[in-house]
Amino acid sequence: MKKEIFILLLLTLLLTSCAAVSKFIPSFASKEEAGRGLILSWEEYPQAEYLDEAEPFRLVARIENNLNYPIQGQVCLHQTAPQRIGGIPSGSCRTINIPAAEQIDNKIFEQSDHYVFPETGNYEYRGLSQDLPHETKFIAELDYIVDAKAGTTLCVKQPGIPENRVNNCEDKQTITDIQQPEMPIEIDKVEKSLTAQSDNQLRLNLNVYVELRDTKGLPFSPDALSSNMNIFERPFIQFEARYGNVPLLCQGVQEGRIRFDKSEKVIKCFGTVLVDAETLQDVLELHLVYGYRTSIETPIIKLRRSEVSGALI
């Protein structure tokens, strides 16, 4: 009888322990949950080798959001042909606002929208020169704001507690298991070290490695879209780090922003943590906000002068 009671007590303790640990599992979306990210594609464009003078055409860009946060920004169309012969006028932009993808039964259901250029009517080319060959290429540029969180669990222990007494709670650790949605700029890893300040108080030191993963596009400051500043001049990202309920101070971060003009940056953060028990396991949350530009283009399309148009001119 005593043996059965002991086993029941042991099981109760184990279940209680598991429940206590599970609350520290961060709720950030993983890359697998986020699916294929953000996809910009052509739904319609002139696909013939030649586009005749005065031939009407339009373009349709499609944006598919597989991320767990909404996408806001603008999509703009450009051409390589000179404006004097017509086609797409400068300033051909549309505002976008696509909801976050839905996750149902571990499956991602994307949200998408398509943007027709022009909204009414068609484009056409006029006044092609007989002596000069003409060609064009169409480019769709998507400028959008990324507002996402990355995170992981971190364990810290009281100063003086031997490392062999607790599992996976060393004073120095490199954490690569970062939960985050698919983003152009991602957290590559976090290096942790602890400095004792008293019996139950320590300084948490972090090196956060931020890396530009999608090198096909360009990051820009998140407020550049709503201002007259050069979109790529001295780009900043908004960055915030928090361990549990402790906000961390980060070097180089001023008014919540830090310069990001390289493909990788190491952000040093620190904060004072009170550890009442032997160990404390809590969530490290990293919040990033920045703008990003991605683009697609069509193949080169030759422009063919109309003999009828030339005769009329």
d(CA 175, CA 167): 15
103-139 residue pLDDT tens: 888 788 899 999 999 999 999 999 998 878 899 999 9
Encoded tokens for 56: 């009407």
What pLDDT is stored for residue 29 in this prediction?
Answer: 42
Check whether 214 has a pLDDT greater than 90. no
d(CA 239, CA 231): 19
Check whether 40 has a pLDDT greater than 70. yes
pLDDT class of 162 with cuts at 50, 70, 90: confident
d(CA 179, CA 94): 33
Q: For the residues 262-274, what does the mean pLDDT come to?
A: 91
Check whether 28 has a pLDDT greater than 70. no
Report the phi/psi class of residue 4: left, alpha or beta, with left for phi > 0 and alpha for psi in -120 to 50: alpha
- Kindly give, in sequence order, each residue whose CB lies less than 8 Å from that of residue 303, ignoring residues fewer than 6 positions away: 50, 51, 52, 53, 81, 85, 125, 128, 134, 135, 136
Whole-prediction pTM: 0.79
pLDDT class of 313 with cuts at 50, 70, 90: very low
- Kindly give, in sequence order, each residue whose CB lies less than 8 Å from that of residue 224, ignoring residues fewer than 6 positions away: 230, 231, 291
The H or E element spanning position 209 is: strand 201-212
Q: For the residues 67-77, what does the mean pLDDT come to?
A: 90
Residue 40 in contact with residue 114, Cβ under 8 Å?
A: no
Residues of the chain with CATH 2.60.40.10: 33-145+295-312
Beta-bridge partner residues of 249: 270
As a CATH number, domain 33-145+295-312 is: 2.60.40.10
Residue 148 in contact with residue 288, Cβ under 8 Å?
A: yes
Question: Bigger pLDDT: 12 or 293?
Answer: 293
Residue 205 in contact with residue 193, Cβ under 8 Å?
A: yes
167-212 residue pLDDT tens: 778 889 999 999 988 888 999 999 999 988 888 889 999 999 999 8
Question: Bigger pLDDT: 308 or 89?
Answer: 89
